[in-house]
Amino acid sequence: GENVEQHPSTLSVQEGDSAVIKCTYSDSASNYFPWYKQELGKGPQLIIDIRSNVGEKKDQRIAVTLNKTAKHFSLHITETQPEDSAVYFCAAFNDYKLSFGAGTTVTVRA
């Protein structure tokens, strides 16, 4: 089955700096890669996604890149703000299910 690895597990950044989270996947058949943000005590919420036929996608301060050859994808958050503090999960869709990474706890320091 699909195996998604996510790094780092924790990330502390100064407000205004950028944050980068990286994920790798194992199955080349995976074709959809969403990123979810989970705030304390809440369920995960989709923030951005990318399909296998696209290399990069941007939405305001958030961008995602995909390298199919290397089987890795990354989340970039620019100009971080305190409300960006949360746990972020990457995922890969293959066959019938999403396989999630273990999560990255992002803390934005004021």
Nearer to another protein, 46 or 81 (CB): 46
Least separation in angstroms between residue 96's CB and another protein is: 6
Least separation in angstroms between residue 34's CB and another protein is: 7
- The residue ranges that bind another protein (CB under 8 A) are 1, 4, 6, 9, 31-32, 34, 36, 41-46, 49, 51, 89, 93, 96-98, 100-103
39: closest CA among 90, 91, 85, 95? 85
71: closest CA among 19, 23, 20, 1? 23
Counted residue by residue, the chain has a size of 110
Least separation in angstroms between residue 79's CB and another protein is: 25
Cα Rg of the chain (Å, integer): 13
